[in-house]
Every structure is written in structure tokens, then in C-alpha cells.
Structure 1
Amino acid sequence: MINKPRSDEYAPYAEGYVNKVPDGADVLQVLADNQIKTYNLFHNMTDVQAMHAYAEGKWTLKEVLGHMIDTERVFSFRAFVFSREDISLPGFDQETYVFSTDFNSRTIQSLADEFKAVREATLFLYRAFSAEQLKRSGVASGALVKVGALVYITAGHEIYHLDIIKERYL
């Protein structure tokens, strides 16, 4: 089991994500369980439903899912790089990523399938980390982060967006 990281093992912005993972939970199981939950949520939507934004200027549900996919790729890539002892990566601008593609032109089922595939790859990577690799760290967006913390950040980021979807979209 991967232990919940201490606050000095990740950037302050990530605390909200880390704290979304319940204390004592097996974070890999949380990721596996939420893979199914998130996939089903989006796969069962119509494209009309998935084009909903809760306010002017806010992302559509397709864009939210696209952002979740992009961010999981970034977090898992960071974990991969740092686990191999490469220690510095630039940050990424989520707005640029979302608006540099056209998630809205895709079907929600296509996005849901991509999410499921990305999560499957993430789980293979995270399950393969040794105890030593989970302790390794690197710099991303100018802040030190440990590999194990990135696992929690990945899980918490998804939970964060699922909460927003539940509160503001559905």
C-alpha cells in the first residue's frame, strides 16, 4: 500500500487533491474503483448532455473529461520521469491544453473510452513502482514532488472534478 504523503512531499496547491483521498484508503484501489465510476458516468451521457456547461465561460462536460485525461497523462508522466531519477519538468497550463484542442467535436463515448485506456496505463505504471521509486522526487512547476505523492494527486484530482460535476453540472 502507498502511504499518504506528508505536506512537504508536494506543492501546496496539491493539498486539496491529496486530502480528497480518504485516510487509510488504498489509493490504487481508489484509482481502480473510480476508473469504472468515471467511465460509466461519461459513457452513459448523450453528446447533448456532455455539451452542458454550468455557466458562461465554464468548460463543457466534454472539456472537463478532456482536462481530466490530459492532467492524468501529465501527472503519470511526471511520476514516470521522477521514478527514473530525472528531476526537473516544466509546468503546464490547463487552459491552454483544453483550448488547444476540440474536445467538443468528439463523442462523449470516445472521450470516455480514452479516459478508461489512460487510467489503465496509469494503473499499470503506478502498480509497478517499487518502494524505492515511490520515495524518489523531482521538480514540476517549480515545486518538489515525490512519486508517491503524484499517485495521490492523480486520485484526488479525479475526485475533485467528480465532486464539481455532481455539485454544478448534474
Structure 2
Amino acid sequence: MKYTYTEKKSLSKLKIIIMKNVIILFALILGNFGLAQQKESSLEHTLSINQNGALKLAEQANLEAAKLNKQISIAILNNSGVVILLLKGDTVGPHNTEASRRKAYTALSTKTPSFILMQKAAANPTAQNLNTLPELLLLGGGVPIWKDGELIGSIGISGGGSGENDHNIAQKVAENLGFSTSK
């Protein structure tokens, strides 16, 4: 097929326009890919206890407390320290509700069961100053909840008759549902 000079010139211009558009399209694709990678590197994906998980933990806690003929207050925090669930047993004093929240906070914040922290503080006079921090409560009953090496929340139990009972209930709850209380 033979083209006239004008047709050849038009085809040449058309090729240039197509090539420019391909280059622009390619640059946009790469630019968006780089932007997506940049956004991805500034995001963090973490596991955290949600409302459904908190309800399962609370149900398990009440079952464990029933084995001791106790009613309890239960606090469950997500990995950011936000209260996801707070329950007060019918026959439990109102102070236990706040105690369970603070035990859960202590366990989450220190990544240590509050019972163990209490024992360490009793053995080390300088660690007793932890009691002066407003949110920490050095009584047994709070445990951090770990899943696959990641801290996902905590549970605090109060009203079980002793800090040791509260600790044992919280510990069993985590274990019964396949979680760990240490990293």
C-alpha cells in the first residue's frame, strides 16, 4: 500500500500521539504503584479483640467463676486499651467493676499478668512505686492476651474471692479459648 506524503505525515503524528499516551499511561501506573507502596508502608496491620471475641471471653469467665460458686466483674480491653466489654456480676460489689478494668489495663500496659506484677512489687521495694500510678492496680486478676506472639488485648477479673482466684479464672479463660498470657 502506498501512502501520499500527507498521509505519511499524518501517520507519523498519530504514532507520536499514541507513544506519548502510552508513556503517560505507563507513568501513571508506576506512580500509583509507588504511591500504593508508600501508603502500605505507613499502615500497620494488628490483631485486636473485637466485640464478638470479648463476649466469648466473658462467657468463658462466667463458666470458670461458676466452678468456684462465684459471680465476678469482667473487663475486656482491646490492644489499644479501649474497654470492649465491662460486666458486673449481680452479687458483686460496685468497686469490683472498676477493679476489673484497672487489672485489665495493668496487664495490657505492662504486658504482664497483674498477679505476677504484684508478687514482683512485693519482693522489690522500688517496684512498689508502681502502685502510685493512677491506672495500675497491683492485684491478681488481670492477664494480657496474646495470639501468635501479638498482644491483642487483656482481661480483668474481680470478685472471685481473692486475687489468686481472679488470676486463675483469667488465666484459664485465655487458655481455654486458645490464647496465651505471655509472648
Compare the two structures and name the one with the higher helix fraction: 1
Please tell me whether Structure 1 or Structure 2 has the larger radius of gyration of its CA atoms. 2
> Which one has a larger percent strand, Structure 1 or Structure 2?
2
Tell me the TM-score normalized by structure 2.
0.21
Query: Which of structures 1 and 2 has the larger relative contact order (alpha carbons within 8 angstroms, sep 6+)?
Result: 1
